A and B are shown apart, each in its own frame.
Chain A
């Protein structure tokens, strides 16, 4: 039994030690750093490609085997990294259980008077001599006014006062440590009861599932439709200014929510599942529609939607027209030829053929350049090509997030108290007319405070 206890103590002390904390700090840091250098990918190719930059291909393959054996290509979800984080949490818990009771006890128990030798060794020592019988009362009064808790002892050398203030701020360390545990448990809840995935929804279509990072389909229980997706660009540049999706939610064949607009930094949540605007892309589909507005000579407007090469009538005339080419970003090269600059909808343009009694003319219409809207048959504005872009959404459900927020706030509070409200301790001995202040810590504030206290006592006397 004794042997068992000894082992018990050893294990306890191991987990309660700061050395373990420091060792974990170092090992976790190194592990995490490795993960930022080696490509984190479950697929072998990127990893092998990375290593073949430094060595021959065959040794890169061998290196990959070692890497995947230790999960170095998936560090943050590997068993050993999780184990280290778990050890870190255990270390924090055991440390706190080990130290907290004795700290709490020190708040309650009245201390004993210290022998004077201890005071003589303290770095701060200040003496004043005042001829005043009520000097002791004065000291106590000033200390009380400054919010100190005092203990008074009669010793053979005179009166000894122990004054302390803000000693409870020592608890803030435990608050900080607790906050880390709260954050870690929030993360744990997120991994077990939440999910992360992404969906690419083409304009005009909908999806009722997301794809997880591992490539599995996650059913959502409702359908998300993308009615429209648009990108705004900065003037005269291909740099996106903003991009947004107009979504609707369909559940059990009924529209539950409409006209939802999401943008980068402006997510939307439905039934605990949050959708984030993450990316976009070009994907031609069969339902893609060219959208025009025709303005006739009297100023009347008509909306025209047409598929690729689908003939449409120009209202009020005998002209038929159809689209034969499209460019998302039409540019002109040095020799005056037209070319397509990118697949982003920076400057969408269509080539429209007009047919009147067998006569064919064609014209490029650029959505951003009004001069090109003027045709021999009236003003035809090209609005957009709808249904060729997809919106990339991040999808997430994470019931652990509230805990993360609570933990973060507690951590901030704890750290500020820890670092800025340090406990103050003074020791004062009064012997006849001589009053001496001592303090253990060499911090500037304490010295200043003692000076203030002394000044106040002298000032009152004068």
Chain B
């Protein structure tokens, strides 16, 4: 089954993370190639799994345009990770620079990992009537490509803020190191959750750590989380500055952040908002209806529009603009997952 193949890809993404770390610490070029190799083979297996899933979808839907496997939450998360990895590999190849791979592998690991922990179905499902449209391909794929671009810009922007902040007491530094600590903790917790999950149907996110049934382990996890965040706050700038040995400068991060957003924003506008509006016009009889998903997409669009205006017109430079990119991705996550988990609306295909 396709989801087993995709799980192997996820395992490889998780594996590449420690290799990237050792590469950065030892500066051993061979290890760098190994890390990229693991990530690449993960991506190839992932693409193979994606094609298998496509075939499985085709065997029930009999339509090429409507068999792209992005029709439920699991499939969309898988596609999202695939776009992040391919996008990152492209950047790594283009700029011959492989050191923010650690954080990409963390993000990919968490995302593939939580598909096991949210209790969502991994089975191939037939299409509901509302999704039977050729706009499915255009609207959904482009939206997730844009989300993936925003995810990559989030990583570079986060590193840029941490690297570029002179003052450890400034809000943006505290906030960014907090997010980084949280990400690393989630990465560890997701791995533990999956390893200790006996019955795959009842496992929940954080069940082995923060929400552990044993009070001692739970308290210990909270302490560990706090300690991790504190460590990142205390030594974050130092850790990130190691990256400067790898030509990852503040300017490079700022430039990549901008380029990825400049790529993602028009795709989001066309695929997410415009194609979404056209499809809604045909399927629901209105192009815009303030459905929670629509509203939050507009908010996401506003945040990135703000980023571009700040960049071009106000001449904001440095960490301030990158901070907008960080917040932009948090809003994107809410648009993507939060709306489906907490709010109800017409876009319920992605719910659990």
Q: Which residues of A contact B (CB under 8 A)?
A: 18, 21-22, 25-26, 28-29, 32-33, 35-37, 40, 75-76, 187, 196, 234, 239-243, 263-267, 274, 276, 278, 394-396, 398, 401, 404-405, 408, 411-412, 415-416, 419-420, 442, 444
Contact = CB atoms under 8 A, between A and B. Distances in A.
Given A401-B281, A419-B262, A411 B269 contact: yes
Interface string B47-63: 00000000000000000
B3 interface: no
User: Chain A: interface secondary structure?
Assistant: helix
A25 B305 contact: yes
B320 to A, nearest CB: 12
Contact of A404 (B283, B287, B314): B287
A37 B278 CA distance: 25
Contacts of A29: 298-299, 302-303
B270 interface: yes
A187 B290 CA distance: 13
Nearest to B268: A415
Contacts of A415: 265-266, 269-270
B4 to A, nearest CB: 24
A128 B189 CA distance: 58
Instruction: Specify the main secondary structure of chain B where it touches its partner.
Output: helix
Contacts of B308: 419
Q: Which 6 A-B pairs have the closest CB atoms?
A: A394-B285, A276-B285, A264-B129, A36-B292, A415-B266, A265-B133
Interface in B306-323: 306, 308-310, 313-314
B300 to A, nearest CB: 9
Which of B128, B270, B285, B298 has the most C-beta atoms of chain A within 10 angstroms of its own C-beta?
B285
A243 B128 CA distance: 10
B302 A18 contact: no
A240 B274 contact: no
A241 B277 CA distance: 24
Nearest to A408: B274
12 contacts: A22-B306, A22-B310, A32-B290, A36-B292, A75-B290, A243-B129, A264-B129, A265-B282, A266-B282, A404-B277, A405-B278, A415-B270
B201 interface: no
B309 to A, nearest CB: 6
Interface in B270-303: 270, 274, 277-278, 281-288, 290, 292, 295-296, 298-299, 302-303
Given A18-B314, A278-B284, A419-B265, A265 B305 contact: no
B129 A33 contact: no
B132 interface: yes
Contacts of A416: 266
Nearest to A19: B314
Given A22-B306, A29-B299, A36-B343, A264 B288 contact: no
B339 interface: yes
A240 B128 contact: yes
Given A267-B282, A394-B284, A412-B274, A241 B129 contact: yes
Nearest to B61: A241
B126 A234 contact: yes
A27 B8 CA distance: 45
Given A18-B314, A265-B132, 5 more contacts: A32-B298, A234-B126, A242-B129, A408-B274, A412-B266
B195 interface: no
B130 interface: yes
Contacts, number: 103
Contacts of A32: 290, 295, 298-299
A264 B283 contact: yes
Interface residues of B, number: 41
A35 B269 contact: no
A21 B302 CA distance: 10
Nearest to B338: A36
B339 A36 contact: yes
Nearest to A444: B255
Nearest to A198: B285
Interface in B6-29: none
B126 to A, nearest CB: 5
Contacts of A276: 283-285
Interface in B88-144: 126, 128-130, 132-133
Contacts of B295: 32-33, 35-36
Contact of A196 (B262, B274, B285, B299): B285
Given A242-B132, A265-B282, A401 B298 contact: no
B351 to A, nearest CB: 15
Contact of A18 (B269, B282, B296, B309): B309
Nearest to A231: B129
Given A33-B295, A76-B290, A411-B274, A25 B306 contact: yes
Contacts of B298: 29, 32
A28 B309 contact: no
A245 to B, nearest CB: 12
B302 A28 contact: yes
A438 B58 CA distance: 56
Contacts of A40: 290
A307 B348 CA distance: 39
B285 A21 contact: no
A242 B132 CA distance: 9
A232 to B, nearest CB: 9
Contacts of A187: 288
Given A25-B305, A265-B130, A401 B287 contact: yes
A241 B130 CA distance: 10
A274 B285 contact: yes
B284 A412 contact: no
A426 to B, nearest CB: 20
B309 A21 contact: yes
B165 to A, nearest CB: 22
Interface in B321-336: none
A265 B63 CA distance: 16
Among A29, A35, A278, residue most surrounded by chain B Cβ atoms (within 10 Å): A29
A267 B285 CA distance: 8
A412 B265 CA distance: 10
B309 A22 contact: yes
A17 B265 CA distance: 23
A187 B128 CA distance: 30
Contacts of B132: 242, 264-265
